[in-house]
Structure 1
Amino acid sequence: MSKHVFFVTCPKGVEYLLADELSTFGLGLVRNAPAGAWVEGDLEAGYRACLWSRLANRVVLHIAEVAATSADELYDGVVHLDWQQHIPVGGSFRVNFIGENEAIRNTQFGAQRVKDGIVDRFTRSGGKRPAVEAKAPDVTISARLHRGRLALGIDISGHSLHQRGYRTEQGLAPLKENLAAALLMRAGWPEIAAEGGDFADPMCGSGTLVIEAAMMALDIAPGRRQERFGFEKWLGHQPETWLALRQEAEKRAYEGKQGKVPGFQGFDQDARVISTARNNARRAGLEDLIEFEARPVQAFALADDRAATGLILVNPPYGERLSERQALAGLYESLGEAVKKAASGWRLGVFTGAPEFGKSIGLRSFKQYKLFNGKLPAKLLLFTIDEASVRTPREPTAPGEVLPRIANEERAAMLRNRLKKNRKAIGQWARRQQISCYRIYDADMPEYALAIDIYEGRVHVQEYAAPKSVDERSARERLAEALAVIPDALGIERDQMVCKQRQRQAGTSQYEKQDVSGEFFQVQEHGCTLKVNLKDYLDTGLFLDHRPVRRWIQQNAHGKRFLNLFCYTGAATVHAVAGGASRSLSLDLSNTYVSWARDNLALNHADPRRHSVEQEDCLAWLAAKPAPDQVYDLIFMDPPTFSNSARMAGVLDIQKDHGKLIRQAMARLSSDGLLIFSNNFRRFRLEEALLSEFEVEEVSRSTLDKDFQRNTRIHRCWHIRHSA
């Protein structure tokens, strides 16, 4: 048989599953496409896809591609094709047109030009004009416009293949049959069924998931009950080939019921949709094999003779079906309690457009798939129902702690959309720059005053303290919404997110522990390994806004003596060492951060004999007379805005004291050396006298990467040299 090219469409997000399925029919992949796949094979394989594909929407036999940069060019391309070999004399056709461009701005106009070309092809050669029939044509022409090219084909399916013929009645918000089949495949149902497992859906609605599961397990062709396909009056049709395939499908359907048949159960609290589900199962020929019962999810129970293993797959409501979205957490919690009680050892799949409520199930998911229910983004969450997967619901452990909850869905959707937009734009930039720790959101929306940072897949959320003009209850409500939205919008598990409330700090409070988790992990920055902790301290151990400063130090430290004052966790020193600094000294008052800095240097194999970290009061150390060996070529000084630690020689107020600090640091700088001075006091003003004493250049703009350009006052930075 000759080879043909087919374009097979499917729901968005199912493309790769579809390609795998089509390969089993003898159709080789040519290329993937959004919501479909281009494949090639013989006509029998195309027929098999129409009859057996559980995932496809339409199967289009490709016949030509023509130029279509204008309406006339499109017409010329269509009229020159030999349509007489496809449409019968005196027959009928319709055109399904998809796509637009500058010349063809609506699908109705595009379809009309294709129709004109086809009809004129017949009349020009003296043939009888074919009729245009919208409802039941002999042949359906597929026309897909992309940019300046029009792909033309015969829709051999003739209708959307998700319509199996058994579902003439529907419940609320029904799943399409091919999406239900995709969920079953992703959930591993074919393998579970082959191992003797059973199936149940505790919120079955009109029964689509249960019926598709039964058809799949019993090897029943999804197109078996279709009365007509789009190729049957097409002039290229091969009736003998098609008859053989239909006979094969009948034989397989009979044989599928002869062995051990899995148990199939569907439950719903609405007795009316249970009646609909029974009618649908009867039309599918499965009424004797599926047990449907009106029962709320809280009373979910499996048959007494259930298999030791099986799949529970459910599509619970996620917003559109409930007037009170807040009730969803309770519904998901009830689902979790019911399945843990009734189905230990089974697998649970939950398909939801509100994955933030998945945690309420009380199990830890081992796999998640992103899919779409129509145009609505959704996720399939998979769980193993056993003790090892149990997640203890997290309760507030301290006064004022906020748990995720959406009170205003429209407002929360705005934050979700902004985070997804930022994730795409900033995330792509970060990947190109090989940056794994970056800020993705910084109070972009006044309703959500948060700073959100990514640390190699983990998320650190800092809530800015609300001004007094904002009601405390409203602020807590919005924080709860953000905590519900962030994991889904950024594609993480909720336990990978840490939230802190950021207040103005004084004295040593910036060093005080916020938690005692001890959860340190390592991240990479420009080839350096750095230790961070998202939970235990107000800050994480890595100031992300200073990333460009650290990189500059790394690029300019070769052979230089480096001094890091108020060194924090020593990240700048690590970069100096990586850049080839000949020796370094890092000073900080905090024992915690001195130890942390030493760990960072050790992680990067710095020689402690040449690169030392000391606990020192930087104010006292600078005020002392420098020793002969205390001369440096490159100094980095990033003091806190204010500090009044009892261990310090005095009180530090950066606006008041910076002139003295800079002059003291410059006394330790070599004649051709450089002091990098930085601070994050928003109202800071550099002392004018310094401009006449030294060469001073503000470099703040060049020290802000893309992720901090929305907040250009996050810090200010100067390069200071001795005057020539």
Structure 2
Amino acid sequence: MTDFTPILNRIKKNKNRLKSYIKDLGLEAYRLYDRDIPEYPYIIDVYGSKLVIFEKGKRLNDYEDQKLKEKHLKHITQALNQLFPESQTIIKERVKNKGKSQYEKELNSGNKFIVREKDLKFEVNTDDYLDCGLFLDHRPLRLQVQKMAAEKRVLNLFCYTGSLSVAAAFGSAKQVCSVDMSNTYLEWAKRNFELNRINIADHIFLREDIVSWLPQHMDRYEIILLDPPSFSNSKKMEDIFDVQKDHLKLLTQLSKNLTEKGTLYFSNNLRSFKLDSDVSNIFEIKDITKKSIPPDFKDQKIHQCFELKLK
């Protein structure tokens, strides 16, 4: 038995457990390890032939002995080299910097490549950003949206790189309006549309401060997707955004943009989040968190997700 046998066995077990799921969905991007063993507080995501190891800043502060941290990280890389000898390993340190986005650019390698998810293709970048351009935990929601989008108008707010928008458009949505504050991510979203042979001229991409833009926007949609950041003090926004404080206002405004029989999916990843009780005055609420988290995620608090319909 080698020093890294426990972590090797756990990763091997996860790999075998997910084998059928990965094959059935044709996945090239998925979560392989999710802090399963307390002594190894890391996340490992697979993106094609690349393995991304995320150091979880909060838990890693518990390492009083830097040498122990280095030893455990070495164990993980040894295990991955044995199980995935042809893959490249990338280590990212994810630290909590209040007021700074975890999606901000780190480098400028231009190292972009394509991963598949069932019928869809997405561009990812494992080198230049802390996050790689595809939220793996939203895979079930993408599948759901793709199934129900036919001939519907869809609004995707805080759309990031547009993976949910792609799912809707690929599912034959009449039109998808994708809104984000970042030109970088909107251009990325357009490339994702083109990868899937979707005509971007048939859809709308808007760079807007969503909180200030929404009250002026009167269009109505059969499907609305709302996945805001937990917190943002971006210079592109008029005010600081806090999902806990601001979600009721956002949802109230969106009730005017949702058709009578439409569906609004609201998700966020604030672990302490509590849905305001007043939301129930406007919407029928269905907590779909459990079924919206894919089987490759051990962390059942990775996000919360609600299906809302007008009363």
Task: Report if the CA contact (8 A) 2:25-2:117 is conserved.
Answer: no
Tell me how far 1:505 sits from its aligned partner.
4.2
Q: Which amino acid aligns with 2:18?
A: I
CA 625–516 in structure 1, closer or farther in 2 if over 3 Å, else same? closer
Structure 2 match to 1:706: 295
- Work out the CA distance in 1 between the residues paired with 2:102 and 2:293: 23
Q: Deviations over 1:526-567 (max 9, x none)?
A: 211110011110101100000000100000000000010000
Name which of 210, 219, 223 aligns with 1:634. 223
CA 590–415 in structure 1, closer or farther in 2 if over 3 Å, else same? same
- Work out the CA distance in 2 between the residues paired with 1:580 and 1:505: 40
Structure 2 counterparts to residues 117-136 of structure 1, below 5 A:
none
Task: Report if the CA contact (8 A) 2:252-2:282 is conserved.
Answer: no
Tell me how far 1:662 sits from its aligned partner.
1.1
Task: Report if the CA contact (8 A) 1:511-1:590 is conserved.
Answer: no
Structure 2 match to 1:719: 307
Structure 2 match to 1:480: 74
Name which of 171, 184, 198 aligns with 1:592. 184
Q: Which amino acid aligns with 1:646?
A: K
Name which of 183, 199, 216 aligns with 1:625. 216
CA 619–508 in structure 1, closer or farther in 2 if over 3 Å, else same? farther
- Work out the CA distance in 2 between the residues paired with 1:492 and 1:680: 34
Structure 2 match to 1:689: 278
CA 472–559 in structure 1, closer or farther in 2 if over 3 Å, else same? farther
Q: Which amino acid aligns with 1:504?
A: K
- Work out the CA distance in 2 between the residues paired with 1:646 and 1:472: 39
Q: The residue matched to 2:200 in structure 1 has which SS?
A: coil
Name which of 157, 168, 193 aligns with 1:576. 168
Q: Which amino acid aligns with 1:688?
A: S
Tell me how far 1:508 sits from its aligned partner.
4.5
Task: Report if the CA contact (8 A) 1:461-1:499 is conserved.
Answer: yes
CA 588–508 in structure 1, closer or farther in 2 if over 3 Å, else same? farther
Task: Could you tell me which runs of 5 or more consecutive residues in structure 2 were left unpaired when the two chains were aligned.
Answer: none
Q: Deviations over 1:369-404 (max 9, x none)?
A: xxxxxxx9xxxxxxxxxxxxxxxxxxxxxxxxxxxx
Tell me how far 1:424 sits from its aligned partner.
1.2
Task: Report if the CA contact (8 A) 2:49-2:86 is conserved.
Answer: no
Structure 1 match to 2:28: 436
Name which of 101, 107, 125 aligns with 1:509. 101
Q: Deviations over 1:449-476 (max 9, x none)?
A: 1111112232121111135432150223
CA 476–665 in structure 1, closer or farther in 2 if over 3 Å, else same? farther
Structure 1 match to 2:237: 648
Name which of 459, 467, 471 aligns with 2:64. 471
- Work out the CA distance in 1 between the residues paired with 2:264 and 2:73: 41
Q: Deviations over 1:163-182 (max 9, x none)?
A: xxxxxxxxxxxxxxxxxxxx
Q: The residue matched to 1:510 in structure 2 has which SS?
A: coil
Q: Which amino acid aligns with 2:131?
A: D
Tell me how far 1:648 sits from its aligned partner.
0.4
- Work out the CA distance in 1 between the residues paired with 2:186 and 2:98: 20
Tell me how far 1:431 sits from its aligned partner.
1.2
Structure 2 counterparts to residues 252-651 of structure 1, below 5 A:
409-410=2-3, 412-465=4-57, 466-473=59-66, 474-489=68-83, 491-493=84-86, 496-622=88-214, 624-627=215-218, 630-651=219-240
| Structure of higher RCO (CA pairs closer than 8 Å, 6+ residues apart) | 2
Q: The residue matched to 2:228 in structure 1 has which SS?
A: coil
Tell me how far 1:429 sits from its aligned partner.
2.5
Q: The residue matched to 1:536 in structure 2 has which SS?
A: coil
Task: Report if the CA contact (8 A) 1:506-1:644 is conserved.
Answer: no
Tell me how far 1:667 sits from its aligned partner.
1.6
Q: The residue matched to 2:132 in structure 1 has which SS?
A: coil
- Work out the CA distance in 1 between the residues paired with 2:46 and 2:172: 29
* % same residue: 37
Q: The residue matched to 2:239 in structure 1 has which SS?
A: coil
Q: Which amino acid aligns with 2:300?
A: T
Structure 2 match to 1:659: 248
Q: Deviations over 1:233-256 (max 9, x none)?
A: xxxxxxxxxxxxxxxxxxxxxxxx
- Work out the CA distance in 2 between the residues paired with 1:505 and 1:633: 37
- Work out the CA distance in 2 between the residues paired with 1:505 and 1:574: 30
- Work out the CA distance in 2 between the residues paired with 1:517 and 1:571: 22
- Work out the CA distance in 1 between the residues paired with 2:71 and 2:128: 25
Task: Report if the CA contact (8 A) 2:25-2:118 is conserved.
Answer: no
Structure 2 match to 1:168: none
Task: Could you tell me which runs of 5 or more consecutive residues in structure 1 were left unpaired when the two chains were aligned.
Answer: 1-375, 377-408
TM-score, length-scaled by structure 2: 0.94
Indicate the structure (1 or 2) with the bigger Cα radius of gyration. Answer: 1
Q: Which amino acid aligns with 1:469?
A: D
Greater Cα shift, 565-574 or 432-441: 432-441
Q: Which amino acid aligns with 1:698?
A: D
Structure 2 match to 1:196: none
CA 505–551 in structure 1, closer or farther in 2 if over 3 Å, else same? farther
Tell me how far 1:504 sits from its aligned partner.
2.0
CA-atom RMSD, angstroms? 1.6
Tell me how far 1:631 sits from its aligned partner.
1.2
CA 592–506 in structure 1, closer or farther in 2 if over 3 Å, else same? farther
Tell me how far 1:492 sits from its aligned partner.
3.1
Q: The residue matched to 1:463 in structure 2 has which SS?
A: strand
Structure 2 counterparts to residues 201-240 of structure 1, below 5 A:
none
Report the count of equivalent residues: 309
Q: Which amino acid aligns with 1:658?
A: H
Task: Report if the CA contact (8 A) 2:26-2:116 is conserved.
Answer: no
Q: Deviations over 1:103-134 (max 9, x none)?
A: xxxxxxxxxxxxxxxxxxxxxxxxxxxxxxxx
Structure 2 match to 1:156: none
Q: The residue matched to 1:475 in structure 2 has which SS?
A: helix
CA 691–418 in structure 1, closer or farther in 2 if over 3 Å, else same? same
Structure 2 counterparts to residues 187-206 of structure 1, below 5 A:
none
